[in-house]
Structure 1
């Protein structure tokens, strides 16, 4: 492994070790995944009220969508904003800026560490869900994995843009809460876009948030297939590239706003 790769892997490894040092938190996180999934499935079963099909969508398809959407949302949930805000608030960001690896790259390594840590757990919960809830297998496994990877990249960029606000505000709790509520709706994690009014669903289908959850899950259940599927994946790739460029520009300006507090 090259020196460049070793430097960045050290950050990934350090974040993984830090997370696994708190085993009770990992257990609570796993229980949270299971409860979230069960609650979403129970909600949609209540909405269907015993009917096998509503508006042409079978209950089995909707429960599969709800289950995979819950796992996708949790896969894309990380602590980038909280971690950076804390570092800026207590002055540790000064030491981070002095490291040989740039601060932005450190954040990306942290996001990669959480991905490495979460994937095995989510796969385990997903397999249990297939047996317990009746979740079907993906309609297009390869395209689903590609779409999931692009969705993760888009979400990472959105998280980095949100985290950059900490350089100006020093306090992100309110912003984080508002973003969490809105992103759940805009991404299709709570309600599929096809359930929304056609004008609203059409608008949201071109925004970056849908790329995080709605597109990969729609590919999973087969609602997006053929040319429509590849067009949706193309939109994901476009948003990932645009947002990555925007992240670089914003962070170059943000680091000049650093005010070291504490010792």
Structure 2
């Protein structure tokens, strides 16, 4: 119990410092208040034109599609991650060595940073954008299953962090890893459902995505928000798909630990 309390206090301290640090640049974050709604407007007009007089496409009606993109926009504010960029910078500059000697796991430190950073994002990005979508555009942004939606977003928060941290650890092995990050960002944008719902992809690809981390980063929480889930012709109840999301997060956490141990051995070898 004391260990857990200590870890919580450490997380709270790091998160608070990160919040204060990034608060100095909050105008940078506030730019996305306009980016999110503009992105939503574009999607709104595109899909309104696509649906035309049709009531349903690939199992989604127009109102559900609009809610999906509204939820996807808001969830992005809560789960956005920068652990890969931060870790790669520390490794390439040699500053990671100072963290390796500290009595705190760098991954936990990075996670605590994300908590503080995304709390600031919730204040200056999520809440204003939620108000804009709800009162200016009249979109119903109340989740169908609030409890499951919160849990799914929390799991997406973890998935985004661990996937990006794994991506950041490529810097232990490659001299220049920024190209890997750019490729991943492109794949993530496409296969996480941020650009288009995954039900519009070929059936074989939808089946493959069940075994990749991308859907659990955005598509799943957005669909849980709408109150139904369908992928590859498979309809799942909300508790079942959130359970699958939880299993995917645990597997990613275990993979992260294995790669971290291998990376540290490699880092120590090179540093010697």
Q: TM-score, normalised by structure 1?
A: 0.88
CA contact (8 A) 2:169 2:260 kept: yes
Which of these residues, 5, 11, 14, is aligned with residue 11 of structure 1? Answer: 14
Which of these residues, 247, 257, 263, is aligned with residue 266 of structure 2? Answer: 257
How far does the alpha carbon of each residue in 1:73-127 deviate from its partner, in whole angstroms, 9 at most, with x for none? 3432221111111122222212222222121211111222222222233133123
Quick one: distance in 1 between partners of 2:39 and 2:224?
21
> How big is the shift at 1:132?
2.5
Q: Say if 2:126 is the partner of 1:122.
A: yes
Superposition map of 1:44-123 within 5 A: 44-48=47-51, 50-51=52-53, 53-55=55-57, 57-120=60-123, 121-123=125-127
Superposition map of 1:59-208 within 5 A: 59-120=62-123, 121-136=125-140, 137-208=142-213
CA contact (8 A) 1:20 1:26 kept: no
Distance 1:68 1:24, change over 3 A: same
> How big is the shift at 1:52?
5.5
Quick one: distance in 2 between partners of 1:166 and 1:200?
29
Which has the larger displacement, 2-11 or 94-103? 2-11
CA contact (8 A) 2:169 2:263 kept: yes
Tell me how many residue pairs correspond in the alignment: 260
Aligned Cα RMSD in Å?
2.5
> How big is the shift at 1:227?
5.8
Q: Say if 2:232 is the partner of 1:223.
A: no
Q: Which residue of 1 aligns with 2:255?
A: 246
Quick one: distance in 2 between partners of 1:43 and 1:17?
39
> How big is the shift at 1:14?
2.1
Quick one: distance in 2 between partners of 1:222 and 1:98?
47
> How big is the shift at 1:66?
1.4
Distance 1:7 1:238, change over 3 A: same
CA contact (8 A) 1:9 1:109 kept: yes
Specify every segment of 5 or more residues in structure 1 that has no aligned partner in the other structure, as ranges: none
Secondary structure at the aligned position of 1:64 is classed as: helix
> How big is the shift at 1:70?
2.1
Specify every segment of 5 or more residues in structure 2 that has no aligned partner in the other structure, as ranges: none
Secondary structure at the aligned position of 2:163 is classed as: helix
Distance 1:187 1:4, change over 3 A: closer
Which has the larger displacement, 192-201 or 51-60? 51-60
> How big is the shift at 1:250?
0.9
